[in-house]
Amino acid sequence: MLARLEKHLADLSIRGLELADPARLTEAARALMTTDREQPTVFDEERLAAIVDLYIRTGIQVHSPGYMGRQFSGVVPLSGVIDFVSSVVNQPSSFYEAGQLPNVAERIMADELNRFIGWDQDRFAMVTTSGGSLANLTALLAARNRAFPGYWSQGHSALAAQVRPAVAVGADVHYSVARAAGVMGIGEDRIVRLPLDGRRRIDADRARQALDAAAAQGLTVFCLVASAGTTPVGAFDPLDRLAVIARERGLWFHVDGAHGASLLVSDRLRHKLRGIAEADSLTWDAHKMMFVPAPCTLLFYRDRESGRGAFRQTASYVFDERQDIYTALDNGDKNFECTKRPMIMPLWALWAMYGKSLFAEKIEYLCRLTQEAHAILEGEPDFEVLHRPEANILCFRYRPEGVEVDDLHPFQVDLRNRVKSRGNFFISKVDVDGVAALRVVMMNHHITSGHFQMLLDEIRKAGQSQ
């Protein structure tokens, strides 16, 4: 297995995604399964090799220079080795007695990363969760329970008849926030979408008007959610100005930094999150731009007491009634999961071995590469660039002569699918102002501006075949 992974990592050829027919892949997978149902089959090394080869071959090739499509990264190989160790020793990390080093490592990494956030060292807290969606839900629960203390135990009946809880977000907020509103019983109709400016950030100048309009409609906004690196275009909302609005109105200020919070470790890029110290909570996905296996999400609270308000339960089989130096490190009462992978270990091990410079250098390179790609596009008359990238996400359209405005959306959708089917590059697409655009996310430091130029040639070829 290690030899096959080494070969996989050493292959820097340009390859995208080859989608297998699901029926044929199912057939191939079933053919690798033992037919003996009565007793364990003797270990078959060739069968295992075939399973690993099939697994590697049919996935997105995140280590290839042709991979520019999604926000999950090619991992630093050492972090995968630590993840392998975690799988074998199997130490669930919600409680100290089950995962001692993982719980200590969480505290260490919380302290290390909070140096870049800037919260009071004695008041803040951090827990790990399985993904940014769960972190956003958990933060919104803490915000709701602070605003409406009786909601956890009594549900909607705890509210006065005229109270209609609502959450304010940017129009490009990640769908997980709207999903969280549905899970919490708030409903998507009570999502107040704040207007965006020309850079697709929340327009702070018009946000107050939108909040006033929501209040006039009878909505009680209790939380303002900003984004540090939106999923569509990678925009960073003006956190400092939005924090002022949140404080004026007594709102919980949550920052979804699942993608962009990692820029905090870079001295050159940290300014993009100016104002983060004024947030009440922060979602940070290390499995994106910290280059570790998914999932590894960090949920930070400025005030640990507020963070404890997300869940309010007792369970004698896990929660100790008498706290000591060991149970003080338990975090099962602060996150949704009881059994939780020790997801902090790959991140802590990399940080312990290499320090922040490893992460900062990779992040700075990928952001610089995206700026170079933007400059290339500006010099190509048959391409339309849609924004100046703030991090490592770039959206654009291919607009050769003869493509009418009404055909632009389906043309981009078909184009992306054709590029994907050709098997050399994997890119994504997103609707910008209701019209599809091609989208690249630079997550692999093996990519160069030369590879991006090759992608543009591939796009042209795919466009000419339509």
The candidate with the shortest Cα–Cα distance to 292, out of 86, 92, 449, 451, is 86
CATH of domain 88-354: 3.40.640.10
Using CB atoms within 10 Å of the CB of residue 117, give its burial: 0 to 12 exposed, 13 to 18 middle, 19+ buried: buried
Q: Rounded to an integer, what distance in angstroms lies between the CA atom of residue 111 and that of residue 93? A: 18
Handedness of CA 412, 417, 421, 424 (dihedral sign): positive
The per-residue pLDDT for 209 is 96
Q: Cα–chain-centroid distance for residue 202?
A: 19
**C-beta separation of 394 from 405 below 8 A:** no
Q: What is the pLDDT along the chain (466 residues), one digit of tens a residue?
A: 889 999 999 999 999 888 889 999 999 999 999 988 888 889 999 999 999 999 999 988 999 999 999 998 889 999 999 999 999 999 888 777 778 899 999 999 999 999 999 999 999 999 999 999 999 999 999 999 898 888 877 777 777 778 899 999 999 998 899 888 888 888 888 999 999 999 999 999 999 999 999 999 999 999 999 999 999 999 999 999 999 999 999 999 999 999 999 999 999 999 999 999 999 999 999 999 999 999 999 999 999 888 877 665 554 445 566 677 767 766 766 777 778 889 999 999 999 999 999 999 999 999 999 999 999 999 999 999 999 999 999 999 999 988 888 999 999 999 999 999 998 999 999 999 999 999 999 999 999 999 999 999 999 999 987 6
Token digits for 134? 């769960």
Token digits for 245? 């609005």
| Per-residue H/E/C for the chain | CHHHHHHHHHCCCCCCCCCCCHHHHHHHHHHCCCCCCCCCCCCCHHHHHHHHHHHHHCCCCCCCCCECCCCCCCCCHHHHHHHHHHHHHCCCCCCCCCCHHHHHHHHHHHHHHHHHHCCCCCCCEEEEECCHHHHHHHHHHHHHHHHCCCHHHHHHHHCCCCCCEEEEEECCCCHHHHHHHHHCCCCHHHEEEECECCCCCECHHHHHHHHHHHHHCCCEEEEEEEEECCCCCCCECCHHHHHHHHHHHCCEEEEECCCCHHHHHCCCCHHHHCCHHHCCEEEEEHHHHCCCCCCCEEEEECCHHHHHHHCCCCCCCCCCCCCCCCHHHCCCCCCCCCCCCCCHHHHHHHHHHHCHHHHHHHHHHHHHHHHHHHHHHHCCCCEEECCCCCCCEEEEEECCCCCCHHHHHHHHHHHHHHHHHHCCCECEEEEECCEEEEEEECCCCCCCHHHHHHHHHHHHHHHHCC
∠ CA(118), CA(120), CA(126), 5° rounding?
80
The per-residue pLDDT for 314 is 53
The per-residue pLDDT for 37 is 82
In the chain, where does the domain assigned CATH 3.40.640.10 lie?
Answer: 88-354
Q: Rounded to an integer, what distance in angstroms lies between the CA atom of residue 124 and that of residue 457? A: 49
Q: Rounded to an integer, what distance in angstroms lies between the CA atom of residue 451 and that of residue 456? A: 9
Q: Rounded to an integer, what distance in angstroms lies between the CA atom of residue 158 and that of residue 317? A: 29
**C-beta separation of 282 from 276 below 8 A:** yes
In the chain, where does the domain assigned CATH 3.90.1150.10 lie?
Answer: 357-464
**C-beta separation of 346 from 298 below 8 A:** no
The per-residue pLDDT for 91 is 87
Residues, the chain? 466
**What residues contact residue 217 under an 8 Å CB cut-off, 6+ apart?**
none
The per-residue pLDDT for 316 is 47
Q: Rounded to an integer, what distance in angstroms lies between the CA atom of residue 181 and that of residue 116? A: 30
Write down the CATH superfamily of domain 357-464.
Answer: Aspartate Aminotransferase, domain 1 (3.90.1150.10)
The per-residue pLDDT for 466 is 62
Q: Packing angle between helix 344-354 and helix 100-117, nearest 10 degrees? A: 60
Token digits for 231? 């999923």
Q: Cα–chain-centroid distance for residue 98?
A: 27
